[in-house]
Amino acid sequence: MNKEEIENRAFVIIAQAQYLHTDSKLYSDFGLVLLDAGIQTLNTQILAGLQSGELDEARNYFFRALDELSIPKLPDENTLRYHYARAVAQRVLNDELSPFMGVDIMQRMAYDSFNDPICSDFIWIDEAIELQGSSYTPIPEFEVNPKAYILEAFRHFLCILDTVPERHLQDVVICENCNHIEKMDQFWDRKFDWKSFAFEVILRCPKCKSKQIIDCQDNEGKRKYFAIRMQNYA
């Protein structure tokens, strides 16, 4: 485990301790991770050996270990929110947190971060939960199996956090012909039309030149997008 991986693991713990319930085991497990990585100091040895219920002591040695590793004890707000979101999603998928509670947390975070597109889907899912059983739903697929739909949304969310360069699907398109994914402006093909004496903009795949383009923000595009991305995501 390298320095960046250790730092990310520490930030998840800090975020979980700030926003979610935690206990001393979370800290002592981190101590074991450090020992496995060959970081043998008095603080890491004590941290790894602490028993459950010793929360204050575990927190103290956790921050001492961070000092030794020069890891910030209080990351910036965006970094903390990123790791908080990751912790929520992982706990939902590990069956440690109710999927419906996870949605509630994520939609509140979306509003708090000015509708950050990476979390905005959970606003619609939360609305679908509120409207369950009524004649209207913003997500028809949700009504078939709400829990399964939410779990799939969290899997997709982690996929975006971990592997996707776009980070959210706003202005992202897919070529139906070759499955190339890119920002929409990379598909713009500008040609000058002498008849109208103006530039004409056509969406065309830069790889295969196909004009069969799907917007990833609609349901069909979103399904195709994640089918492609999830092939390489475990």
CA separation, residue 136 to residues 96, 124, 147, 210, 220 (Å) = 31, 13, 18, 37, 20
Query: Could you read off the pLDDT of 87-99 as tens digits, one per residue?
Result: 889 889 999 889 9
Q: pTM to 2 decimals?
A: 0.60
CA separation, residue 59 to residues 4, 12, 22, 31, 65 (Å) = 21, 14, 11, 11, 10
- Report the distance separating Cα 214 and Cα 222, nearest Å: 9
Query: Could you read off the pLDDT of 57-66 as tens digits, one per residue?
Result: 998 999 999 9
- Band of the pLDDT at 19, cuts 50, 70, 90? low
Cβ neighbour number for residue 211 with a 10 Å cutoff: 13
Report whether 198 contacts 204 (CB < 8 A). no
- Band of the pLDDT at 147, cuts 50, 70, 90? very high
Which amino acid appears at position 61 of this protein? Y
- pLDDT at residue 191 is higher than 80: no
- Band of the pLDDT at 72, cuts 50, 70, 90? confident
Mean pLDDT of 195-219: 82
CA separation, residue 206 to residues 185, 192, 215, 226 (Å) = 11, 18, 16, 21
Query: Could you read off the pLDDT of 21-51 as tens digits, one per residue?
Result: 677 888 999 999 999 999 999 999 999 998 7
